[in-house]
A and B are shown apart, each in its own frame.
Chain A
Amino acid sequence: RKEVEQDPGPFNVPEGATVAFNCTYSNSASQSFFWYRQDCRKEPKLLMSVYSSGNEDGRFTAQLNRASQYISLLIRDSKLSDSATYLCVVNPALDSSYKLIFGSGTRLLVRP
């Protein structure tokens, strides 16, 4: 089983739609959770951190469910510019290296 698993998609949605991605992780001791965005042929960039209490940033909402070991990302009112690959990222907290484990990404296509 992969440490971090995501549905690869693609999710093909019209502008204005609401879309949600889930991600599961295998290590119950994991401490930190993030969503990164990666545009085609570019480096990943932090979209948002995911806290136990959930967090919201404009049209984006991230939630963590420790009991079921999954995190989610909700995008409301999708824009064309949201088209990208969304990477679920976990720090498994196995040691003090703080290395990040990446899911393979979920591709989102927003159409006019």
Chain B
Amino acid sequence: NAGVTQTPKFRVLKTGQSMTLLCAQDMNHEYMYWYRQDPGMGLRLIHYSVGEGTTAKGEVPDGYNVSRLKKQNFLLGLESAAPSQTSVYFCASINGPNTEAFFGQGTRLTVV
């Protein structure tokens, strides 16, 4: 099984450009999450989804939008990238409470 797959794995953007990060899971999980990880700060929740067609804001949602049109896919969009969005982005999914979270391999984004 592929588990959770993120694309792309690396990207360099110029300030003001837009992009979409794709997260795909093949485990039929209901719950999906986008986190960013910065040095010394751990993983911080950007947006999450509790099912197809639903999304909600996490701890650090500003500058990002998400969509969950299909259960297996959770997209993270940056409409106008800023240097402060340089980070490593991780997508995760779980099947329910008290269950293991599976992560994608991460997307390293640099905004110059």
Digitize B73-103: 1 where CB-to-A-CB distance is under 8 Å, 0 elsewhere: 0000000000000000010101011101101
Q: Contacts A43-B104, A44-B103, A96-B50 known; A103 to B42 CB distance under 8 Å?
A: yes
For the complex, what is the distance from the CA of A96 to the CA of B98, rounded to whole Å?
12
Determine if B42 and A104 form an interchain contact, defined as CB atoms under 8 angstroms apart. Answer: yes
Could you tell me the distance in whole angstroms from the C-beta of A49 to the nearest C-beta in chain B?
A: 7
Q: Given A42-B106, A43-B105, A44-B101, 20 other A-B contacts at CB below 8 A?
A: A8-B40, A31-B97, A31-B98, A32-B98, A41-B106, A42-B105, A43-B106, A49-B98, A49-B100, A87-B42, A91-B97, A91-B98, A98-B31, A98-B50, A98-B97, A99-B45, A99-B48, A102-B43, A102-B44, A103-B42
Chain A residues in 8 Å Cβ range of B41 = 104
Could you tell me the distance in whole angstroms from the C-beta of B66 to the nearest C-beta in chain A?
A: 14
For the complex, what is the distance from the CA of A91 to the CA of B97, rounded to whole Å?
9
For the complex, what is the distance from the CA of A104 to the CA of B3, rounded to whole Å?
25
Interface residues of B (CB under 8 A from A): 31, 33, 35, 40-45, 48, 50, 56, 58, 90, 92, 94, 96-98, 100-101, 103-106
Could you tell me the distance in whole angstroms from the C-beta of B75 to the nearest C-beta in chain A?
A: 18
Minimal Cβ-Cβ distance residue in A for B45? A99
| In the assembled complex, A100 has its CB within 8 A of some CB on chain B | yes
Minimal Cβ-Cβ distance residue in A for B106? A43
- Which has the most chain A C-beta neighbours within 10 Å: B31, B42, B43? B42
For the complex, what is the distance from the CA of A53 to the CA of B98, rounded to whole Å?
15
What bracket does the count of chain A residues touching chain B fall in?
20 to 34
For the complex, what is the distance from the CA of A100 to the CA of B98, rounded to whole Å?
10
For the complex, what is the distance from the CA of A27 to the CA of B92, rounded to whole Å?
23
Minimal Cβ-Cβ distance residue in B for A6? B42
Determine if B42 and A97 form an interchain contact, defined as CB atoms under 8 angstroms apart. Answer: no
Chain A residues in 8 Å Cβ range of B106 = 41-43
Minimal Cβ-Cβ distance residue in A for B99? A98
Digitize A24-49: 1 where CB-to-B-CB distance is under 8 Å, 0 elsewhere: 00000001100010000111111001
